[in-house]
């Protein structure tokens, strides 16, 4: 199991489009991926739970991955968040 902590800088936080891209990226991996914010926890592969975390601009999230591809999953999710949701895999593009 590995985890990282990131600041969400996008203006809308993890709502609508950014949350959708985050979930779609997480679903590319077999690992279990969980996002935590201020004690609340959400399955990173569930759009409703991710939106209900109510992550706003400037807030920190912890992303935890556990499984065979956890390292790659965290790397891609980190790249996605740090790029303000612009650096995404071709499979995730709308």
Alpha carbon dihedral 29, 70, 19, 93, in 10-degree steps, equals -50
Fill in the DSSP letter of residue 30: S
- Is 15 designated active site? yes
Positive or negative CA dihedral for 23, 48, 19, 65?
Answer: negative
From the candidates 2, 12, 15, 43, give the one annotated as an active-site residue.
15
User: Would you name the residues annotated as active-site residues?
Assistant: 15
């Amino acid at each position: 199991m590995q985890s990282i902590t990131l600041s969400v800088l996008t203006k809308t936080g993890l709502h609508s489009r950014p949350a959708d891209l985050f979930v779609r990226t997480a679903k590319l991996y077999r690992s279990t991926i969980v996002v935590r914010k201020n004690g609340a926890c959400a399955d990173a592969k569930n759009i409703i739970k991710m939106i209900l975390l109510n992550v706003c601009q400037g807030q920190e999230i912890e992303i935890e991955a556990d499984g065979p591809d956890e390292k790659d999953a965290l790397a891609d999710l980190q790249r996605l968040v740090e790029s303000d949701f612009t650096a995404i895999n071709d499979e995730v593009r709308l």
